[in-house]
Amino acid sequence: MPFKTAVMFIDLILENNPRARTPKKDPADKKMADWCTELERLHRLGPVGAVENENKGYSWKEIWNIINFCQQDDFWKTNILSPGKLRKQIIKLENKMKRAENFKKDEEISILQAVYAGAKKEEEGS
C-alpha cells in the first residue's frame, strides 16, 4: 500500500506543478523507497516523534484523504511535497481538514435554514 499511496501522491503533486521534483514511479528507485518508508511510518507510527506503542498511526484511507485534502488546499499544496513533510505536518493538516468539513456542514445548515425560513414566510403570507 505504501507504493500505491506514493504514486497517488506523486500524481497529485505533478498535477499541481509538472515541474515538481518527485521520485520515479519505480519501486527500485531509492527516493521512491524513501517515500514508501515514510508513508509506512505514518501508517504504523503516526506523526514525527510518535513511538510504536502510542498507537497514533493512520489508516491508509485517512492518509489518502489527508493527501487529497492537502493537494487541493492552496497553501498546503505548495508546502507538502513529500511524505516526510506530510508526516511532519499531519496534525495541522488533519485539524484544518476537520475545520473545513465543519465549515462546510455549517454552510449547508445555513442554506437549509434560509430555505426553511423562506418557505415559512411564504406559508404565512398565503
Write out the three cell numbers for 85. Answer: 513533510
* pLDDT score at 54: 83
Output the pLDDT for position 80: 96
Q: What is the pLDDT of residue 88?
A: 95
**pLDDT for 72 beyond 90:** yes
Say whether pLDDT at 41 is over 80: yes
Does any domain span residue 117? no
Q: Residue 125 and residue 122: Cα distance in Å, rounded?
A: 5
Total tally of structural domains belonging to the chain: 1
Q: Is residue 46 part of a domain?
A: yes
Segment 87-93 mean pLDDT: 94
Range of the domain at 85: 2-90
- Evaluate whether residue 34 is within a structural domain: yes
Is residue 121 one of the residues assigned to a domain? no
Q: What is the DSSP letter of 77?
A: G
**What does the pLDDT average to over 71-93?**
95
In a domain, 23, yes or no: yes
Please give the average per-residue pLDDT across 85-103, as a whole number. 88
Closest CA to 66 of 45, 46, 49: 46
